[in-house]
Structure 1
């Protein structure tokens, strides 16, 4: 096990000259009563910054004063992949600061240290520093550059700068040792060590690191063809001094050690594309299925690789080599209620963000949500499954059979039934409408197809013929297409998707109906036709029974209802009181009559429903013309194990097959005489 040097292990080397801090240095009132001064804690064992990593001692002279400067150097990259270790190139959410360390004297008279940053608000004016050494050690260089940083930043307050100053300096020294240890290794692996570390204060995020230039050559300008060396900071370093920025990451030489003897080793791949293509080929051959999980979202899902059929490349012009299949989504929440609540909030926010980018609201149709989820590679339903083509790896030529001689990496030459049915359906149906149009009318122009907008569940239902405007039931004839020179709808357009939605809805209704017939057959232990007949008949009998029950219940309720007595007006009363009581009596009478009329109407309605069901039974199941249509389904299945009625022993008494036994009636005298009291001993 290799030993990593720590910043705490460093001790001042004997006879090592150091440069004391000046009065104008920004050291935040550091305690000068230490046994070892701040700048005297030298890096005697610190390896060199460059590839040789030799221990370079500074050139010091106690009688001379050397001046060097520090300044900010801005960098910017255009690629948009800024996730993972490439987050240092993101200048909107965070700021990066990489400190340049010099281990040899430059050709110029004055030493200048640069702090590479993507914060364009930082001033590029250099700041001069004094030193008694012509080449200060690494710790002193980091101290002065941190002084420059804290004197120009406007985020961290002064009361906290001393604490953060010591912490950041220590982390930078540790990061320097980690980088040197990783770069000097001779292992043939692809392990990475980051050149930076994260630092945050409140809502502000920083990335501090050691500056390592990319040093890959690139062409400056499309016309001049002038070669230049890339100076963008790299986010990681690897063994054998390998490192690259986000732009030249493809030029890295990667190693691959196969764990399976059946799969060839690809350590000799010359380019990153060869390595990537060979690795995908190996994973496809082994049919690997990867289990992915996210503790932040509380989900897990599987991914696998599928190869598209090469026959489709020759016939349909599909140039994708592989596709990545997503599916088997499972929710794996944490056992902690607080963590589970945060996981659900993060997952719901991700779903809302995806649909918001696709301009979909909460009331959007499921097909639109699935299409947007496939485009953004989002799994939000447990039964969801889609295959996304790998677009950065394609065949060189279309409409011809791929040949291994055109490629420097192995390609999947599929045999019959090598790919699953879903992948074959996706590749075969990809350009069916365009191919049909080309065959029928070679001179017609072909619309631009957009297969990314096509939902995966539409692919098996794509018709072989082209799709035109007019809807599912109003497609033009061949003569009309030829006369008016109609153009088919482009695959993935709004009209094409609306037509496919009609096809999918009709297909869903038919599949749902067939599934109900199959379930009815299983429920009644018979064929789907007879199961459907018995299910409909059973439902009809139950509806007729409910209607008859409601009618009888209402009839009993009306017959047993007690009519309240109306108040009588009698006796000597005042005229006003008499009129009031007569009015109440009349109002009560109207309420009774109104309720009686309502009950009568309800009873008539219930009776009409009973008559309707009775007539339906007579016409539908007992009629001479219509009833015969159900005759094949009405015949009961033959039950070989069922006993016949004339062979049933339980009915022998009913058919008088057993003779009654004679009953012997004894007289009362004999009973008394034969009793125990009449016996003598």
Structure 2
């Protein structure tokens, strides 16, 4: 029978001892400026006689148990970019668990170790554990935290927890050594060591790691003097104890690693964007050529940086500053035949997979293959080269020549090309020669603007950009205009007038809506937003009231309808007369059933409308996240002269006595400025 090792079974080594952290040692607690004196546990019988932290050694006591607890601490971040090492902040497709390790005694009676997670379904109730040491070692703390995790999770079955428990604890201890080694380094480089590792079970994904707080300060609320320390887990650590969360990545100090001594160091840049742009500018200026090797594919190629011409930005609107150039593909297979065979198989599989995803077969055109290879940054021919734009570094404005004053980093400037114009020499002709025929000027067809066809009310609404065919909502993109060389519509043409009619109709509807808000504000004697809110609420209440009234009246009408009863005929009656009477009764019954069915359908329709209005009220006016958070106009106006409940005369009969109260006779708040005093009675 398999046995699941619990953290309770862990026993400390006999020679375990505690040594205080030195100035160069790596510690996990962000507050290491001062040493906190220990306090005895609430279960201890006699207080300790040691007051100095360095002299305390009661960590292994076989006759005494100490209690410490583990609990979950939730964290959440707002930035949406969660790729790469920032994937630990994603809470929809995966969950993160960062284990806090305590390496010094806290100033509380009971030690509490936290597991920082973005899984809000985990219970926040702490779980107590027993220990023979006041400050357990890291392995024991991780074991207890894993026990807490396996007790609260509902994904991994019990039969597999034995293997995963030992495996995760081993990986966490290894990750602890990696973090400590990287953070204590004094190297001036930007190498990163992740604080987490991936763990998956079937379709569930977890990220387990060591908790390392961000510790960057930021302001809280609207007051600038309110400063707090960030406690969000960080995804990586660097040398010189540099680490930051996704919110404070821009505050990190980065070093410039360049083999060219002529390139200056930009470690003092204020932002990471300035650092990155300055480094690209220097590499473009020095025409740095980087040689790339891939031993897995058996190929090598070169990359360099290309700066786009500023004229392209001004004329075509392409706002990319730099691009990366790929070329000079060379096949460098291994000398081993087996390795060479595997390299060729991997390279062919990569090319085949790229073209297969683009739905291109072997007989496709070469131009299509080159286009797909450029999009996926794939080199598969020796004479192939392409440039891909660097999309995260762009100019601020389009269709304008960039200026250096608008940027905090250097931008490339191209020297204008001087083209020599050939001198035209007129041929010397004799008088007897035939006069040359005049050269007709070939004029390219252009769109002629007909301003006389433009109505006057369209002129203030003419957009500053060119208009193409397709309507207001189906305008082509810049790339499509550039590729297909589309011509804009001429001013005054039928297509241009149709486009302007759509803009004018939208302007009229917007103007009517804004005017309606202003009228509602005047009607309710308040701001336009609050007036619109109250008008919509009043109309909705009237509709709900009418619908419920119709429903109740129809329900009362149906309940008051009595099934028709026919008298019993007595005496001799002719058969013809009897048949006529029976036929008449059948018609009356059918008419009654039809009317009853119609009333039932009308009643159901009215009932569904009442339920729909209830849902509308709940969604728009009752829910907290919709009522005030997204509709600040729902807040009622301040009424300084409104009497409180204690001065309400309607409660006099309830309390049995009368309270004298002053009644203000001011008609409105705007009359306060005109009146010199307030009359009271």
What is the TM-score of this pair, normalised by structure 1? 0.50
Q: Cα distance, 1:321 vs. partner?
A: 1.8
For the pair 1:467 / 2:487, whether they are aligned, the reply is yes
Q: Cα distance, 1:301 vs. partner?
A: 4.6
For the pair 1:278 / 2:278, whether they are aligned, the reply is yes
Separation in 1, partners of 2:447, 2:133? 80
**2:493 corresponds to which of 446, 459, 484:** 484
Q: Cα distance, 1:308 vs. partner?
A: 1.7
For the pair 1:69 / 2:48, whether they are aligned, the reply is no
Separation in 2, partners of 1:117, 1:273? 30
Contact 2:215 2:231 in 1 (8 A): yes
Q: Cα distance, 1:79 vs. partner?
A: 5.2
5+ residue gaps in structure 2?
36-52, 419-445, 452-461, 468-474, 500-681
Counterpart of 1:49 in structure 2 is 28
Report SS of the residue matched to 2:139: helix
Separation in 1, partners of 2:73, 2:402? 49
Report SS of the residue matched to 1:177: helix
User: Which deviates the most, 41-50 or 135-144?
Assistant: 41-50
Q: What per-residue deviation string (whole Å, max 9, x for no partner) do you get for residues 6-31 of structure 1?
A: xxxxxxxxxxxxxxxxxx9923866x
Counterpart of 2:414 in structure 1 is 414
For the pair 1:211 / 2:196, whether they are aligned, the reply is no
Q: Cα distance, 1:136 vs. partner?
A: 3.3
Q: What per-residue deviation string (whole Å, max 9, x for no partner) do you get for residues 168-187 of structure 1?
A: 43443343233233323333
Q: Cα distance, 1:140 vs. partner?
A: 2.7
Q: Name the CA shift for 1:118/1:38 in 2 (closer, same or farther; >3 Å).
A: farther
Report SS of the residue matched to 2:254: coil
Separation in 2, partners of 1:93, 1:26? 29
Q: Name the CA shift for 1:42/1:59 in 2 (closer, same or farther; >3 Å).
A: closer
Contact 1:219 1:225 in 2 (8 A): yes
Separation in 2, partners of 1:318, 1:438? 28
Separation in 1, partners of 2:350, 2:265? 41
Separation in 2, partners of 1:388, 1:412? 17
Q: Cα distance, 1:338 vs. partner?
A: 5.6
Separation in 2, partners of 1:135, 1:288? 55
Q: What per-residue deviation string (whole Å, max 9, x for no partner) do you get for residues 452-474 of structure 1?
A: 568xxx86xx76xx5369xxxxx
Separation in 2, partners of 1:373, 1:38? 60
Counterpart of 1:128 in structure 2 is 128
For the pair 1:139 / 2:166, whether they are aligned, the reply is no
Q: Cα distance, 1:99 vs. partner?
A: 0.7
Q: Cα distance, 1:414 vs. partner?
A: 1.7
Counterpart of 2:466 in structure 1 is 446
Report SS of the residue matched to 1:112: strand
**1:27 corresponds to which of 4, 7, 27:** 7
Counterpart of 2:389 in structure 1 is 389
Q: Cα distance, 1:211 vs. partner?
A: 0.6
Q: Cα distance, 1:59 vs. partner?
A: 7.3
Q: Name the CA shift for 1:307/1:445 in 2 (closer, same or farther; >3 Å).
A: closer
Separation in 1, partners of 2:478, 2:14? 64
Q: Name the CA shift for 1:254/1:141 in 2 (closer, same or farther; >3 Å).
A: same
Q: Name the CA shift for 1:295/1:261 in 2 (closer, same or farther; >3 Å).
A: closer
Contact 2:69 2:129 in 1 (8 A): yes
Separation in 2, partners of 1:361, 1:327? 24
Separation in 2, partners of 1:221, 1:377? 45
User: Across the two proteins, how many residue pairs are aligned to each other?
Assistant: 423
Separation in 2, partners of 1:258, 1:437? 54
Separation in 1, partners of 2:381, 2:217? 47
Q: What per-residue deviation string (whole Å, max 9, x for no partner) do you get for residues 276-306 of structure 1?
A: 0111111111222334455666765543211
Report SS of the residue matched to 2:391: coil
Separation in 2, partners of 1:444, 1:84? 40
Contact 1:302 1:328 in 2 (8 A): yes
Q: Cα distance, 1:268 vs. partner?
A: 1.9
Separation in 2, partners of 1:296, 1:91? 34
Q: Name the CA shift for 1:121/1:338 in 2 (closer, same or farther; >3 Å).
A: farther
Q: Cα distance, 1:145 vs. partner?
A: 1.0
Counterpart of 2:588 in structure 1 is none
Report SS of the residue matched to 2:73: strand
Contact 1:65 1:133 in 2 (8 A): yes
Q: What per-residue deviation string (whole Å, max 9, x for no partner) do you get for residues 597-625 of structure 1?
A: xxxxxxxxxxxxxxxxxxxxxxxxxxxxx
Counterpart of 2:236 in structure 1 is 236
Contact 1:211 1:234 in 2 (8 A): yes
Contact 2:449 2:491 in 1 (8 A): no
Contact 1:257 1:267 in 2 (8 A): no
Q: Name the CA shift for 1:367/1:149 in 2 (closer, same or farther; >3 Å).
A: same
Q: Name the CA shift for 1:440/1:365 in 2 (closer, same or farther; >3 Å).
A: farther
Counterpart of 2:115 in structure 1 is 115
Contact 2:99 2:209 in 1 (8 A): yes
Instruction: Report matched runs for 1:485-504 at 5 Å.
Output: none
Contact 2:298 2:343 in 1 (8 A): no
Q: What per-residue deviation string (whole Å, max 9, x for no partner) do you get for residues 469-526 of structure 1?
A: 9xxxxxxxxxxx45526569x9xxxxxxxxxxxxxxxxxxxxxxxxxxxxxxxxxxxx
Q: Cα distance, 1:344 vs. partner?
A: 4.3
Structure having the higher Rg: 1
Counterpart of 2:248 in structure 1 is 248
Report SS of the residue matched to 1:306: strand
Q: Cα distance, 1:256 vs. partner?
A: 1.1
Q: Cα distance, 1:241 vs. partner?
A: 1.7
What is the TM-score of this pair, normalised by structure 2? 0.50
Separation in 1, partners of 2:378, 2:80? 20
Q: What per-residue deviation string (whole Å, max 9, x for no partner) do you get for residues 511-566 of structure 1?
A: xxxxxxxxxxxxxxxxxxxxxxxxxxxxxxxxxxxxxxxxxxxxxxxxxxxxxxxx
Report SS of the residue matched to 2:7: coil
C-alpha RMSD of matched pairs (Å):
4.9
Contact 1:301 1:329 in 2 (8 A): yes
Q: Name the CA shift for 1:166/1:326 in 2 (closer, same or farther; >3 Å).
A: same
Counterpart of 2:665 in structure 1 is none
Separation in 2, partners of 1:49, 1:88? 19
Contact 1:190 1:254 in 2 (8 A): yes
Q: Cα distance, 1:190 vs. partner?
A: 1.5
Contact 2:327 2:386 in 1 (8 A): yes
Separation in 1, partners of 2:314, 2:390? 19
Contact 1:70 1:114 in 2 (8 A): yes
Contact 2:232 2:245 in 1 (8 A): yes
